[in-house]
């Protein structure tokens, strides 16, 4: 048991190094695109960066960064509970391409998140928090992508999501880390669903 724990600790140390190197590389390479998205979001809403409190490692809250894809006065709740009319015109495009997540690379560099890990939940998602407590998922940093995102499992099914995240973090290897990143880069999986119009 101790040997396995030490092995996992070593893997997460290596992952942290990869997080920093890859995040910096993406920010540099995609800086023209990031500036373009910032400008368009500013023109569309006047406030291009969306900041929201999320639950991080050890249940410590942090401020998650995203490009704004919803109207200014949209309620702060999970995406699957938000009406799709709340999404802006340009927001629909960058959500589809997952480009709204790019500012989270700053969260990764700050140490609040990893590139791979359970998606950070909102502080008011009590059922999901309880499920994650049961599986000790707050022992690791939340991530931008992971097994659940690849499989299309989102926060609308808390127990299923927690089980999938537990499977990922309990067996993760360096190869898995890069596999999830590559699959995400090539468009595998989707973000949290937006509620359909009635």
pLDDT in tens, 103-144: 999 999 999 999 999 999 999 999 999 999 999 999 999 999
Domain membership of residue 105 (yes or no) is yes
Domain membership of residue 59 (yes or no) is yes
pTM, full prediction: 0.85
Domain membership of residue 194 (yes or no) is no
Beta strand 49-55 with 61-67 is: antiparallel
Checking if the pLDDT of 1 tops 50, the result is no
Q: What is the pLDDT of residues 34-85, one digit of tens each?
A: 999 999 999 998 999 999 999 999 999 999 999 999 877 765 555 555 656 7
Domain membership of residue 195 (yes or no) is no
Structural domain harbouring 48: 2-185
Checking if the pLDDT of 193 tops 60, the result is no
Domain membership of residue 192 (yes or no) is no
Domain membership of residue 196 (yes or no) is no
Provide the number of structural domains found in the chain: 1
Residue 185's pLDDT band, with cuts at 50, 70 and 90, is confident
């Amino acid at each position: 048991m101790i040997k396995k724990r030490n092995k996992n600790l070593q893997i997460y140390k290596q992952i942290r190094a990869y997080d920093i190197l890859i995040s910096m590389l993406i920010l540099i390479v995609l800086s023209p695109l990031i500036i373009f998205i910032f400008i368009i979001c500013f023109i569309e809403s006047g406030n291009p960066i969306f900041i929201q409190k999320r639950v991080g490692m050890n249940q410590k809250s942090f401020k998650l960064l995203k490009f704004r894809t919803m109207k200014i006065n949209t309620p702060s709740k999970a995406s699957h509970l938000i009406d799709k009319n709340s999404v802006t015109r340009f927001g629909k495009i960058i959500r589809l391409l997952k480009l709204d997540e790019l500012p989270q690379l700053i969260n990764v560099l700050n140490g609040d998140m990893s590139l791979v890990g359970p998606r950070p939940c909102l502080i008011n998602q009590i059922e999901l928090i309880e499920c994650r407590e049961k599986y000790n998922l707050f022992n690791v940093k939340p991530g931008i992508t992971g097994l659940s995102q690849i499989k299309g499992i989102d926060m609308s099914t808390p127990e299923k999501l927690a089980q999938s995240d537990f499977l990922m973090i309990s067996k993760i290897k360096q190869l898995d880390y890069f596999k999830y990143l590559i699959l995400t880069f090539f468009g595998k999986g989707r973000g949290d669903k937006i509620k359909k119009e009635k």
